[in-house]
Amino acid sequence: MTILVTGATGQVGRRFVPRLLQWVRPDETVRVRVLVRGEESARHFTELGARAVLGDLRDADDRKRALEGVDDVVNVAAAFRGVPDEEAWAVNRDAAIALGREAAGAGVRRFVQASTNLVYGAGRGRPAVPQDRPEPEAVWGVYPRSKAEAEAGLTALADLRLVIVRLAFVYGEGDPHLPNAGRFIADWPAHRRLQMVHHADVALALFRALRTPGIEGRSYNAADDAPVTAWDIHRLNGTAFPQANVDAVDPDPWNGIASNLSLRDELGWRPVYPSVWTARDAGAL
């Protein structure tokens, strides 16, 4: 059996692949393959025990080589903040849908698509659940819109055995995501909440989505149990809360909050770090 992981050099992928290699049982004949663009990255993953294919997810020939003989796909590739919009659309939507179409044609038995809870958009007076229709807000830029359109395009592929995992704000293990959060929460009221998920728990969610039988066509939210306030994000980062925001009010307290209940109930997932505070206490930030 061969599992292809895309986006292996990204913040999620570089932490997921080593865990995937560890979690494969010794008695299983399983190979982990990664699609990477650089020879140095290829050497790194080869040394870990994976097999590397040099190529670009946006290139049809490279995707074909990467998919040859593959049984399962985990697509964590993503063009995130700081990239041109056209690159985000090309990677997050176009390449993802093309990979899904080609994977279906190749008979891949499970395609796990990593997405984002930002696809839900504004709050609904409650935590978002996987059955909610994605309505991403323009305020977050191209990223959630491209991911939402990727989900729609992949879902429309009748022969693709798709499972979607929507990730909350990912942090931990040296990822600069949390330290850099101050840039986009600069105007947030003190009590506005951000839902997060640690890399260890993302990896476990992706692994459960890959291995749990009978869940094709389902979507799940990978999010911890305790959304953290803007006030506390400043505390975690050692920055002062902006005085201009002291009296600000959050008009939509459910915006960005998602329920992880189906991930718990259907996949048996339990967060190693239920909150950012447990991660901090464990030295896992």
CATH number at residue 122: 3.40.50.720
Q: pLDDT tens track of the chain, all 285 residues?
A: 999 999 999 999 999 999 999 998 666 788 999 999 999 999 999 999 999 999 999 999 999 999 999 999 999 999 987 889 999 999 999 999 999 999 999 999 999 999 999 999 998 999 999 999 999 998 888 999 999 999 999 999 999 999 999 999 999 999 999 999 988 899 999 999 999 999 999 999 999 999 999 999 999 999 999 999 999 999 999 999 999 999 999 999 999 999 999 999 999 999 999 999 999 999 999
Residue 236 forms part of a structural domain: no
- Judge whether 154 and 178 are in contact, CB under 8 Å: no
Residue 103 forms part of a structural domain: yes
pTM beyond 0.85, yes or no:
yes
Q: What is the pLDDT of residue 140?
A: 85
Residue 50 forms part of a structural domain: yes
Q: Structural domain of residue 111, as residue ranges?
A: 2-172+196-223+257-272
Q: What is the pLDDT of residue 24?
A: 82
Residue 161 forms part of a structural domain: yes
Q: What is the pLDDT of residue 80?
A: 84
Residue 123 forms part of a structural domain: yes
Q: What is the pLDDT of residue 28?
A: 76
Q: What is the pLDDT of residue 81?
A: 76
Q: How many domains, the chain?
A: 1
